[in-house]
Structure 1
Amino acid sequence: MKVSVQVAETKLSELIDAALSGEEVVIDKDGLAAVKIVPIQKSKPFKFGLLEGKVGTVPDFFEPMGEDDLTAWEGGP
């Protein structure tokens, strides 16, 4: 649906409802298409623990390394 700015000023609520129901709503200014009213895409809320139960043991990075790991880290044999 195409409407002029003057019509959009008086029927904004109806135009929003039309856009939400899937209709394309374009507002013309001086006979040229100026803006389109489109609904905002709703995104899924962020979920913490997305990998819960899928990851094995996690090393404790604050614990000191064992001698073998330390030697390997330092480039030893």
Structure 2
Amino acid sequence: MQINMYEAKTKLSQLAERAWAGEKVIIAKNGKPYLELRPYIAPQGQRKPGRLAGKIQMSADFDETPGEVIEAFEEGA
């Protein structure tokens, strides 16, 4: 939806609800698109290496691939 700046001032709460619901809201100035109103999404925090240390277990034979699996890949199965 596109709405002019003056009307947007009077209906800001309604427009915010529509934007939050997923509708694209464009505010126009002199009949031309000027702003896009969209919900705020908080940035995610920085990743912390090692935060899952000790919580993930690898099988003892993780690096060993059975012969039939290798053959299946080589045959294009």
Category of TM-score, reference length = shorter chain: 0.5 to 0.7
Partner of 2:51: 50
Larger-gyration structure (1/2): 1
Unaligned runs of 5+ in 2: 57-77
Instruction: For residues 13-69 of structure 1, give each alpha carbon's deviation from its aligned partner in whole angstroms, at most 9, with x where no partner exists.
Output: 0000000000000000011000000112245566866223158xxxxxxxxxxxxxx
In the other structure, the counterpart of 1:4 is 4
Runs of 4+ in 1 over 3 A off after TM superposition: 42-49
- TM-score (structure 1 length as normaliser): 0.58
> Which blocks of at least 5 consecutive residues in structure 1 are unaligned?
56-77
Q: CA RMSD in A?
A: 2.5
User: Given the two structures, how large is their TM-score scaled by the length of structure 2?
Assistant: 0.58
Identity %: 35
- Output the CA distance in 2 between the equivalents of 1:8 and 1:14: 9
Within 5 A, what are the aligned runs for 1:1-40? Answer: 1-40=1-40
Q: Which amino acid aligns with 2:52?
A: L
Q: How many residues of Structure 1 are paired with residues of Structure 2 in the alignment?
A: 55
